[in-house]
Amino acid sequence: MRHTLTALVVLLLGNWVAAQHYSNYAEQSNRLQTLAKSYPQLATLQSLAKTNGGKDIWLLTIGTGKTDAKPAIAVMGGTEGNHLLGAELALGFAENLLKGSQSDSIRKLLAQTTYYVLPNVSPDAMEQYFAKLRYERTGNATITDEDRDGKTDEDGFDDLDGNGKITWLRVESPVGEYKTHPDDPRVLIKADAAKGEKGKYLLLAEGIDNDKDGKFNEDGEGGIAFNKNLTYNHRVFAAGAGDFPVSEKETRAVLDFLYDAFNVYSIVSFGSNNNLSTPITYNPQAAAQRIVAGYQEPDARANAMVSELYNKITGSKDAPRSMAAGGDVLSWGYYHYGRFSFSTPGWWVPKTKPDTTRKEKAFSVDDPVANYLRWAGQQGITDTYTDWKPVSHPDFPNQTVEVGGVDPFVLTNPPYKMVPALVQKHSEFLVKLAAYQPAIDVVNLKTEKLAGGLTRVSFDLINKGQLSTHSKLGERSYFIKKVAVRVNTTDKQQVVGGRKITLLNALEPADAKSFNWVIKGTGTLVIEAGCPTAGVKRIEVNL
């Protein structure tokens, strides 16, 4: 199996053909349709729903034969509309896999595993990157009244310097909380009042208080965010969360599909949440609460094992810690869907050391924007920062107001030239994750003739995978199909010893359960053993 995976990875690395830029919705749709047409035996494309913005939520199913009868991994991109990299990672993986599908190794992989790829579940929000006015948006096209004033979309962003992108306002004020960074005057940081520091500036997103309610840009275009609208720990009054969970066409369609996909044993989503480079640790108190708020211990160990694989493949380090805020895919996937749930941003700004040849010194205050600007300068990356420029602002008469700062999207999305290498690494991870999947098998099958036309049948049921057939939390769900061992008798056969149907909550990795029956009759006896998340073995016994 190891040699098969190595050969497969080589194929993956050689097959991805990079575009020149991040793809918009139309380009993504074209790439998906091209895959479905080029590989009709391996890929099926369907639209789960149309958003209020008229865009399809695409699902690409990749596999051979009866795809819903094999263990599956769901790969989800675009969980946050401002994270364009996530869509590229999901879609690029699908392209990698299918372009190498003539090889025996990929055929063998797809004979054992199904991939459900949802490349972009936030197409309405993502399109803002390609719009005439560029700003970071996570909400869809649903019209909302975020400030509850009876009006909708009346206070959005305003491009005060006319450069087509929304950056920041800094306003000189005696009550300002921000000051310039001591090592980089382009950057503002919060003044530390505990140290006697005083702020000089107010820092606001670029715009005007259009509705004169004292808040800036609080009710603009961009409604409900996918990664805030799911069911676990839904934050009703949080901006973009929606008045109730799964209120949107896209969230309901995705969850409806996944709940019916009983064969999914793991979700891998791309977004700001991260339990791959830094796994979630076991918290006994949280795990024992009546409403469970922490990973069960075996699931935390599984998370650590998969995290080790991820870090080995991607070479990840200095990953930012991110805590799920509620309503998100990562949390829902584990706590409510009951599957092994993993998430990663896929990329983050590296922690940058000073370049002594450029006479740089170590920062006296750590700050992500200052770190980004240093990294961008060392990499020769330009056009990601807007110099501060004075403007006249109607809400701050007779005050010094400037527009500028780091540009939208650049802190969470790398320059596109870096994307092909990131796609390759994450494709390798998704392939090797499949080698960890639970795998049911039957061993030590024995038959013994007894007196009176009876036959004793026995075997051991084992899990050859490195993951359990179900997460420990998933074992509690009545909706997830358990491991079932069924003796299917004909009218000439009768089970006189043992149960015809036995259900197991789960089968742990390298675990085995012994079964035996006494059967009266003749002919061929069929026994089925397994579950959707680990596969089903069908054996025939001649009595």
User: What per-residue confidence (pLDDT) applies to 11?
Assistant: 52
pLDDT tens digits for range 315-362? 988 888 777 889 999 999 999 999 999 999 999 999 999 988 888 899
Pairing of strands 440-450, 454-463: antiparallel
- Whether 163 has a pLDDT exceeding 60, the answer reads yes
Per-domain residue ranges for the chain?
A: 2-128+223-348+415-434, 146-221+351-406, 440-542
- pLDDT score of 219: 59
Q: Is the pLDDT of residue 218 over 70?
A: no
Class (C level, CATH) for 440-542: mainly beta
8 A C-beta contact, residue 249 and residue 52 = yes
Please give the structure tokens belonging to residue 6. 């190595």
**CB contact at 8 A, 134 and 90:** no
Rounded average pLDDT over 200-205: 93
Predicted confidence (pLDDT) per residue in 103-121, tens digit? 888 999 999 999 999 999 9
* Strand pairing category for 535-542 and 524-531: antiparallel
CA 260, 263, 265, 266 torsion-angle sign: negative
The amino acid occupying position 44 is: T
Q: What is the mean pLDDT of residues 502-517?
A: 96
Helix (H, G, I), strand (E, B) or coil at 279: coil
> How buried is residue 27: exposed, middle or buried, by Cβ count under 10 Å (0-12/13-18/19+)?
middle
Inter-CA distances, 144 with 26, 54, 214, 335, 385, Å: 25, 17, 19, 28, 31
Q: Which residue type, as a one-letter code, is found at position 415? A: P
pTM, rounded to two decimals: 0.94
Enclosing H/E stretch for 372: helix 368-379
pLDDT the model gives residue 345: 97
Nearest Cα residue to 341 out of 276, 286, 394: 276
What SS3 class is residue 332? helix
> CA–CA separation, 332 vs 339, rounded Å?
9
Kindly indicate whether the domain formed by 2-128+223-348+415-434 is annotated with CATH number 3.40.630.10: yes
d(CA 100, CA 14): 9
Give the Cα separation of 345 and 274 in Å (integer): 7
How are the residues of the chain apportioned to helix, strand and coil, as percentages rounded to the nearest 5? 30, 25, 45
Q: How many CA atoms lie within 13 A of 435 on its CB side?
A: 17
Give the per-residue pLDDT at 321: 77
pLDDT at 19: 60
